[in-house]
Structure 1
């Protein structure tokens, strides 16, 4: 009987860690109105805390990728899960809006940012030569789908037992994953004396002597001199604005505005998560076989068209047209990640995971801007219609940015990591 390659076990543990961390990422959508009703905070104020969370979620990623190079994946992920658990659990004691910003925004933002998509790029870059695109798709789907699949449970907990019970449930879920990470997650194939999946020889694990901050900032300095980086970052910023920032944060309140019950709206977002699994895995499979620039162009263009029709789909009950939107948006939710990771690897070589961390930071900057600006638009206009139209136009422009990458197909010189043989 053929022995299972340990890379698949590492990928499985990474998948569980991403799902565990995703629980807290699901809470803002179901807790906006309960927090508003209990504390009287405006949606704009609550959205600000979400925006800071999204911003730090992205800005932490490149530094976390560099920390994983320096101190190992296992240690960084374990500490990150503890931060998520602490931040979620301590929210039950808050009384003021600044505490919401400190816990939701800062503490949990740092924890979840350490397990962002740069973590996925690091795992696949170290452990896989073959099937990289497919595994990237599976792990990405785990993080995104885990966030959305938690929603129905959290919505029921909020409605039946209050938002504090939901926050404690998420804290416990993140905490339970820590022992598994410490037990089974491995930093490099060389630890087990095996080659990466699809490789022919065992490579020694590099010992990085450069500080994490210097490594991350150095990769950014080199990458930012290339047009490809700005095209990728610009498109991914729009991706973040139209997923986490807009749909992930404001879909449930928008549906509530039209008379839909919050558990029902949460269930729709959970369906997005389920369809996202299929869409992102398929995107990973396609990334192994097609030009990633073409894939990104299609993904962004189709997303933009769907957002332009969303305002007329909301109603007090779930109509077939809304289910079609949920199916389509789920397939497209984070399908952009596998081709973007592949392009970072193509253009920036060994520094691809760290550079992708910066590209992902732009994703979260876009999400943070969208979360706050959409909340402010809703406070000012009384509805979300303009936000959907703006997001649709931006998505179509992201498709254009992706196709402009054809002008920069020649890979840029990759910054050389400072390593010595183990």
Structure 2
């Protein structure tokens, strides 16, 4: 590893980012697959949408709940071990789902097992890599890695939708399992534990840079993770960040990621065309989220969040009223796509400002858990409301109104002074 890193120097951090980007991309593809599988499962196995939505909701919930513990586990046992184990669990659980015949089996494979696995290959992984490998340009790099979820839609969804339309749900599950397994050798060969493992310092740091050691690297990681949550929960800034990110999840992968293809199907739009709409959104989110990282390094992140949530709320309210014409859907894809995950870089910056580089990633993991609780709520809520009312109109309009509320809450966040003292300074 040291020999391979020498021609790159500090720029080897970019090699690590490239591999982690691919891992995050595959994880995003896995989490978006239930939305593609919903109609084939309903057609082939006769399952109701609320039952399929429950499996998606469990997976999204555990995806978020795993995050803060995964961040502490990476410090305690090593990032490489946790990442390799998570990818293996993702590949194994999705492959096992090929034999499912009952809804509870989808809850187990696509919900519990893949939810835990993908939770370790999620936004908190990006935050850990940024803090370990970069001293400068953190917002830009976090924006790029956050955009991997959009790129996951761009790369996977049209192909997965074509597989679902031509061969049913099984080819979709098989493709996801193969994709997860393919990342394992790249992580094994190219991702060291930290810069010092290969004789380097963080990107943008001086030669004598010594990054702080997290308290999670020693002792009981569960106690440390829960203790960090307890301390953070006593601050107002945590609850503002938690609430706004809850809404972020409610209005993105929970509702739109899980139900947009089915919503389009209700409006007479074929799966492949609907997946193409999500892919177009992915293109614009790749642009918007990377730009958001650049803006986060330069401007007030609270105001950026206010703008992002406001645009998102208006676009979600607009969609059910748009008539679903080609022009209307293109306008929605552009407006909504530009800030699909653009909220991540400013939220991470606010978490690091309030809680420090040591506690920041774990606190951010709990904030991401709020995101996934919101997403899980929307995944089930959208399916249940569709079964009760026969359409998704009210679900999307309610989501839009919650985004407007989040825009207002964002402006109340205050990180002018640390939320609490570093743990090493506590008596």
TM-score band w.r.t. shorter chain: over 0.9
State the match for 1:69 in structure 2. Answer: 75
State the match for 1:105 in structure 2. Answer: 111
State the SS of the aligned residue for 1:332: coil
Give, in whole Å, the separation in 2 of the partners of 1:415 and 1:59: 24
State the match for 2:4 in structure 1. Answer: none
State the match for 2:127 in structure 1. Answer: 121
Shift of 1:2: 7.8
Residues 1:161 and 2:167 aligned together? yes
Counterpart of 1:91 (choices 90, 97, 100) is 97
Counterpart of 1:219 (choices 223, 228, 238) is 228
Q: Is the 8 A contact 2:10 2:200 kept in 1?
A: no
Counterpart of 2:204 (choices 198, 209, 221) is 198
Residues 1:232 and 2:241 aligned together? yes
Give, in whole Å, the separation in 1 of the partners of 2:203 and 2:395: 44
- Unpaired runs of 5+ residues, structure 1, are none
Residues 1:243 and 2:252 aligned together? yes
Q: Given the two structures, how large is their TM-score scaled by the length of structure 1?
A: 0.95
Give, in whole Å, the separation in 2 of the partners of 1:301 and 1:371: 21
State the match for 1:365 in structure 2. Answer: 373
Q: Is the 8 A contact 1:152 1:267 kept in 2?
A: yes
Give the total of aligned pairs.
415
State the match for 1:280 in structure 2. Answer: 289
Shift of 1:143: 2.9
Stretches (4+) displaced over 4 A: 1-4
State the SS of the aligned residue for 1:405: coil
Residues 1:302 and 2:311 aligned together? yes
Are the structure 2 counterparts of residues 147 and 218 from structure 1 closer, same or farther at C-alpha, using a change threshold of 3 Å? farther
Give, in whole Å, the separation in 2 of the partners of 1:64 and 1:4: 26
State the match for 1:183 in structure 2. Answer: 189
Shift of 1:133: 0.2
Counterpart of 2:55 (choices 49, 53, 63) is 49
Q: Structure 1, residues 107-161: CA drift from partner, whole Å, max 9, x if none?
A: 0000100111111110001110110000000011013321453110001111112
**C-alpha RMSD of the superposition:** 1.6
State the match for 1:332 in structure 2. Answer: 339
Give, in whole Å, the separation in 2 of the partners of 1:311 and 1:21: 29
Shift of 1:417: 5.7
Which deviates more, 46-55 or 306-315?
306-315
Q: Is the 8 A contact 1:190 1:203 kept in 2?
A: no
Give, in whole Å, the separation in 1 of the partners of 2:93 and 2:322: 36
Are the structure 2 counterparts of residues 417 and 385 from structure 1 closer, same or farther at C-alpha, using a change threshold of 3 Å? farther
Residues 1:322 and 2:344 aligned together? no
Which deviates more, 18-27 or 219-228?
18-27
